Chains A and B, each alone.
Chain A
Amino acid sequence: MTSVLYDAPGPRAKRRNVLFSVVFFVLLALLLWWIWQTMDEKNQLEWALWKPFTTSEAWTTYLLPGLADTLKAAALSMVIALPLGAVLGIARMSDHRWVRIPSGAVVEFFRAIPVLLLMLFANEFYVRSTGIPSDERPLYAVVTGLVLYNASVLAEIVRAGILSLPKGQSEAAMAIGLRKSQTMSSILLPQAVTAMLPAIVSQLVVIVKDTALGGVMLGFTELLNTRSTLAANYANVIPSFIVVAVIFIILNFILTSFASWLERRLRRSKRSTGAVLGADKVDDVNAAEVGGTYGTGAGGSI
């Protein structure tokens, strides 16, 4: 393997690599053995603790309803945040200062605030000012928090998507006499949406992960929350954490794989402009082309 850091290995380097491999393997094996040993010592490996996961009851009573709520909150947030984000993103590029500045302020403000604060605030707001029944309130609060934060992140993705298009696209549209709104809606936006798709799918991972906040702080019955009911019932804290973590990993892994598959496919297709925004590209675009902003870990990141 040749990289910036290493040349193709010669005989000595090959021997050294083998030595490193062996040492690292031993260390890793020791670590795993130690974890196994500790688990055994604390009786976490007993079959009785893992057995519930082979029965349908644990899944139908606890895990699947929790997963359903997680997905419901994530899907709702995405569906609401996307149009809102598109509007904010386009408004931020407006020629009119009185549209551009307020929407810019909104986007920067909600990106700077932790989602948890938004959720807590929304929850309390719904308690005092609306008649939403208390069993539905956590869902509303979680979705509100996620929408406010992710709409502003998506606004940045939309803006980055539009800025990533070749300048000739809007120049040609102007040359054939399209109005600004026509240029945006029939030339720029369709291309930008295609370019943004991978970044948008990656943003779903962030949303799925953030739903877990509502489970601990607001009593929203998502996966992490139903895990604690499950663990209280079967007294299997460690196994329940491992199973829930694995579910999240699989779910998010499917989403990230889908995003990168989409990115590859879009890059290949002949009809696109070649501008594709991967999850990791959004912040680069922000830094390079979108002056005066700072990324807050949009897309793929935290």
Chain B
Amino acid sequence: MFDFLSDYDNPTLLGAFWVTVQLTVFSAVGSLIWGTLLAAMRVSPVPLMRGFGTAYVNLVRNIPLTVIIVFTSLGLANIFGVTMGTEDLKDRAFRLAVLGLVAYTAAFVCEAIRSGINTVPVGQAEAARAIGLSFSQVLRLVVLPQAFRSVIGPLANVLIALTKNTTVAAAIGVAEAALLMKEMIENEAQTLLIGAIFAFGFVVLTLPTGLFLGWLSKRLAVKR
């Protein structure tokens, strides 16, 4: 029943899912960094930075991820000659996909982090200042601990959505799970079985992440 799987060795089933995992991890780290920077801009006291952050988030959020990913390949690579530091076409596609995913996901990470900072009542900071804490102490001891704990849930949602969104990389030929499924499903007769295998793969990837982070966010939530 599973004989056909041995016909696929470039990549194998596990290999394709490994690429999906790699895409997810690299994009998650990248978008966490870029998203945090964006969130810092959006809550900063400098109006110009706030404006830039708002504009970035609102523009990027409304463009389909597919458009962004296809643009990195056809626009950035082919027209502008962005090679992402490699001549190998496979590596280049992978890195371009990560670039696109980071640019897109960062907008959602930014919104999640910003909402976390917004959940902290202003009175907390005022009370902290009233007892004579310095700015860095207010931030370190009062605001950030509450903010971080309230964003675990939203960030978990972003991470799960990111895991599923990595399939879009198939549009520019990154050999990840969705591309392999497309190939298998077209060549083999067992449509239902192949669909079930790949569905199971994604359930395995997303379900534990969601359950663990959901449990964590409930455990750490600040009760108000």
Contact = CB atoms under 8 A, between A and B. Distances in A.
Contacts of A4: 117-118, 120-122, 124-125, 143
Contacts of B153: 283-284, 287, 295
B62 A253 contact: yes
Interface of A is mostly: helix
Given A24-B46, A24-B52, A212-B66, A114 B143 contact: no
Nearest to B154: A283
A280 interface: yes
Most chain A CB atoms below 10 A, which of B45, B47, B121: B45
Given A112-B202, A114-B202, A116-B170, A302 B45 contact: no
A295 B218 CA distance: 13
A5 B202 contact: no
Interface string A177-209: 000000000000000000000000000010011
Interface in A3-29: 3-7, 9, 13, 17, 20-21, 24-25, 28
B206 interface: yes
A6 B157 contact: no
A210 interface: yes
Chain B interface category by residue count: 35 or more
Interface of B is mostly: helix
A124 B168 contact: no
Chain A interface category by residue count: 35 or more
Given A215-B66, A238-B79, A17 B74 contact: no
Contacts of A9: 45
A253 B62 CA distance: 7
What 10 pairs across the A-B complex have the smallest Cβ distances? A294-B210, A297-B161, A302-B161, A252-B62, A209-B64, A212-B64, A212-B66, A114-B164, A216-B171, A114-B167
